């Protein structure tokens, strides 16, 4: 764990800070989001909240210096303290290896953390009334859960160089007879792939999904293609149904919500026609693709929260659903003005702190998070003060410089609004 770079900061401190009795784990990141992250922490969080932060620097240079051990350490700390709040990070490709003179092409920190924590990644749009939606019928949030384990992402693929027979062989660990399945007789060149999942992981996915639906008080849909993949996708369908009937049906009925399985093609059509207002549990690939469709359908890829939730619901890691905004960082390095949308990064802090508030039964912290989120939205929706990406979504080719502000101006406006909300709450 690194020493936090902000321990001596007290500028603009609020007179009566909200005391948080248990720590949170902060995971710092890269490029433009790292710059914004520091401003959020020091101007929108620490002046109002007395917080024990376990700080880990996941900037690419430090990951390289520690041979990526810092990523593993941060994930283990999240498991210990149950709340992780993460800045966007670079996943290096060959160009980044050269740019940073890295020892090797390190794996995605998100993937490493996910493998240690387990759980499901849930993404939810931050809804703005002022921003036009490409799917105008979506009036209510759609929370999408991606089962981020197995399937194509841990598959073994193969190029068949010519004619031959492809077989799938399963050899039991107990020494009993193996099972051999003939897959295909190639008449010429081709490709093949083998993939897998586990009952343990699917079960965890189910529990996370049911818990999310209950917490949001929204119906839950699972989508698969079990009519074609009768055994593979059928396993997802069966496990979800068994767990729902045994453990969640009564709670769902009491909450006035329900669970259904849908074929993925039918589900996609229903999503487009719907007004929103549900949780959508997707297999790995479906969730990867559909989460970006949902984000854009609600108006902006930069207005999406992302939370990794463990099956027991006790541990949450929150982050923005976007990248490190490299293009803006290059402008920032040249001393030019930048207008980077900080909302999803602010919500990464609030969603992590909301989970801390839930675990600690801290009503004051919960109220602070709600006030900060409301200040972000109202600054855009009511005051019309926003960053360039949102102004472009509204005005398109007619956008002018007067339609948007730089990041600092937006965040300072949010802070002023937050102070007023906090003062009003203190008087109440």
User: Which residues make Cβ contacts (< 8 Å) with residue 15, sequence separation at least 6?
Assistant: none
For residue 323, say whether it is annotated as part of any ligand binding site: yes
For residue 338, say whether it is annotated as part of any ligand binding site: no
For residue 137, say whether it is annotated as part of any ligand binding site: no
Rounded Cα distance between 19 and 161, Å, is 65
Of 83, 3, 18, 13, the closest CA to residue 49 belongs to: 18
Rounded Cα distance between 218 and 275, Å, is 13
For residue 110, say whether it is annotated as part of any ligand binding site: yes
For residue 114, say whether it is annotated as part of any ligand binding site: yes
Of 254, 177, 160, the closest CA to residue 213 belongs to: 254
For residue 324, say whether it is annotated as part of any ligand binding site: yes
For residue 63, say whether it is annotated as part of any ligand binding site: no
For residue 123, say whether it is annotated as part of any ligand binding site: yes
> Residue 52: helix, strand or coil by DSSP?
coil
For residue 362, say whether it is annotated as part of any ligand binding site: no
For residue 227, say whether it is annotated as part of any ligand binding site: no
For residue 273, say whether it is annotated as part of any ligand binding site: yes
Rounded Cα distance between 178 and 171, Å, is 4
Q: What is the DSSP string of 358-425?
A: HHHT-HHHHHHHHHHHHHHHHHHHTT----HHHHHHHHGGG--GGG---HHHHHHHHHHHHHHHHHHH
In this structure, what token pair is assigned to residue 187? 């008449």
For residue 310, say whether it is annotated as part of any ligand binding site: no
For residue 108, say whether it is annotated as part of any ligand binding site: yes
For residue 413, say whether it is annotated as part of any ligand binding site: no
For residue 197, say whether it is annotated as part of any ligand binding site: no
Q: For Cα atoms 120, 390, 371, give the angle at the middle one, nearest 5 degrees.
A: 65
3-state SS of 252-287?
HHHHCCCEEEEEHHHHHHHHHHCCCCEEEEECHHHH
Q: For Cα atoms 206, 212, 217, give the angle at the middle one, nearest 5 degrees.
A: 125
For residue 327, say whether it is annotated as part of any ligand binding site: yes
Rounded Cα distance between 43 and 173, Å, is 56
For residue 45, say whether it is annotated as part of any ligand binding site: no
> Which residues, in sequence order, are bridge partners of residue 121?
146, 308
Rounded Cα distance between 386 and 69, Å, is 38
For residue 96, say whether it is annotated as part of any ligand binding site: yes
For residue 265, say whether it is annotated as part of any ligand binding site: yes
| Spacing of C-alpha 413 from chain mean position | 26
For residue 341, say whether it is annotated as part of any ligand binding site: yes
For residue 91, say whether it is annotated as part of any ligand binding site: yes
Binding residues for NADP(+): 89-91, 96, 273, 323-328, 341
Binding residues for Mn(2+): 265, 288
Binding residues: 89-91, 96, 108-114, 123, 146, 265, 273, 288, 323-328, 341
Binding residues for D-threo-isocitrate: 91, 108-114, 123, 146
């Amino acid at each position: 764990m690194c020493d936090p770079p902000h321990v001596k900061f007290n500028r603009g401190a609020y007179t009566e800070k909200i005391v948080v009795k248990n720590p949170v784990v902060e995971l710092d990141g890269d490029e433009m989001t790292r710059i914004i992250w520091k401003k959020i922490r020091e101007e929108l969080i620490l002046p109002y909240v007395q917080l024990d932060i376990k700080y880990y620097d996941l900037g690419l240079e430090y990951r390289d210096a520690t041979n990526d051990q810092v990523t593993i350490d941060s994930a283990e700390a999240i498991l210990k303290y149950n709340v992780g709040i993460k800045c966007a990070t670079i996943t290096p490709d060959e160009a980044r290896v050269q740019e940073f003179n890295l020892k090797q092409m390190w794996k995605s920190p998100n993937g490493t953390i996910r493998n240690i924590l387990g759980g499901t990644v849930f993404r939810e749009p931050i809804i703005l009334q002022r921003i036009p939606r490409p799917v105008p019928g979506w009036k209510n949030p759609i929370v999408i859960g991606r089962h981020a384990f197995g399937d194509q992402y841990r598959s073994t693929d193969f190029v068949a160089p010519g004619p031959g027979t492809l077989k799938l062989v399963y050899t039991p660990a107990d020494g009993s007879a193996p099972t051999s399945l003939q897959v295909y007789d190639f008449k010429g060149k081709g490709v093949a792939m083998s993939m897998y999942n586990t009952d343990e992981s699917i079960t965890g996915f189910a529990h996370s999904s049911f818990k999310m639906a209950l917490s949001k008080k929204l119906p839950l849909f699972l989508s698969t293609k079990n009519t074609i993949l009768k055994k593979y996708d059928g396993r997802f369908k069966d496990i979800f149904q068994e767990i729902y009937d045994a453990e969640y049906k009564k709670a769902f009925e009491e909450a006035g919500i329900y669970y259904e399985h849908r074929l993925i093609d039918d589900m996609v059509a229903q999503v487009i026609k719907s007004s929103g207002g549900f949780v959508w549990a997707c297999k790995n690939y479906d969730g990867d693709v559909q989460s970006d469709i949902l984000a854009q359908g609600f108006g902006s890829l930069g207005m999406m929260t992302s939370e990794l939730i463990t099956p027991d619901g006790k541990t949450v890691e929150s982050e923005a659903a976007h990248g490190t905004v490299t293009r803006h960082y290059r402008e920032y390095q040249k001393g030019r003005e930048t207008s980077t949308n900080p909302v999803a990064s602010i919500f990464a802090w609030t969603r992590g702190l909301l989970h801390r508030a839930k675990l600690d039964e801290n009503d004051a912290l919960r109220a602070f998070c709600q006030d900060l989120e409301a200040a972000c939205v109202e600054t855009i929706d009511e005051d019309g003060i926003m960053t360039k990406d949102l102004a472009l979504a509204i005005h398109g080719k007619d956008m002018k410089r007067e339609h948007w502000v730089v990041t600092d101006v937006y965040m300072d406006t949010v802070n002023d609004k937050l102070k007023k909300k906090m003062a009003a709450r203190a008087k109440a």
